[in-house]
Structure 1
Amino acid sequence: MEIAQMNKTDFNEIIRRSKKIRELYHEAEKQHHGNEWTIEEDALAFLTDAGLVGRYTMSQQGRWPKENTHAELEHKLGECIWWLVVLADRMNIDMEEALEKFLSKTEKLFGK
């Protein structure tokens, strides 16, 4: 399904819920560290989770000696999408627009 056809309410709900969860984490960060994580710390957390996606993928494909990582892989994939929504929001980037531009540009590269 193309982004243009996607139900805006669904995408907006994902963004709304993601922002709310991030606000809750910000409150926990203030309690534990005295302040919120910076955008740079959020980006580093995303990269850490993205690295775990790689490791869990290797495990799922039998290339790393850890078993039963399906649930962890599923969680980290969802968490990475969440981080991208959070990062876009914190840097004033419209995630829906960014994704649409990427998809359109890439489709043109392939003649679609």
Structure 2
Amino acid sequence: MSIDSFDEIIRRSMEIRKKYHELEMLHHGSEWTVEEDALAYLTDAGLVGRNIMSQQKRWSKAGSETELEHKLGENIWWLIVLAERSSINIKEAVDKFLTKTDLALT
């Protein structure tokens, strides 16, 4: 994936989050806080775990293959949203992590 593609994923992610904020205002009178976004991410991360268990035949759940793919994408989306809302450049954060980890393992 090119940097331009990742920039487009970030842009699209934030556009979708903006639409969700509009729904939150309509239905609840306020947007979710960063803390509420983090909680939603953690909930979805837990669902990734359950769907992986199902894929590996350690947890019985119908439709988990399709849901696993969806939840993996959603978790990446949440991480992008959380980074943006926390004023963290996700591209730089991932690059720093990969560099530091690669150096630690060599």
Shorter-normalised TM-score: what interval?
over 0.9
Give how far 1:68 is off: 3.1
Give how far 1:21 is off: 0.2
In the alignment of these two chains, the number of paired residues is: 106
TM-score after normalising by structure 1: 0.92
| Aligned-partner Cα distance in 2 for 1:8–1:68 | 33
Coordinate RMSD, CA, aligned: 0.8
Q: Which has the higher contact order (CA 8 A, sep 6+)?
A: 1
Q: Kindly report which structure 2 residues correspond to 1:1-112, keeping only aligned pairs within 5 A, or say none.
A: 7-111=2-106
Q: Which residues of structure 1 form unaligned runs of 5+? A: 1-5
Structure 1 stretches of 4+ moved >6 Å: none
Give how far 1:8 is off: 1.8
Q: Which amino acid aligns with 2:42?
A: L
| Aligned-partner Cα distance in 1 for 2:2–2:62 | 37
Q: Which amino acid aligns with 1:87?
A: L
Per-residue Cα deviation, 1:58-109 (whole angstroms, up to 9, x for no partner):
0110001213310000000000000000000000000000000000000001
* Overall identity of the aligned pairs, in %: 62
Q: Which residues of structure 2 form unaligned runs of 5+? A: none
TM-score after normalising by structure 2: 0.97
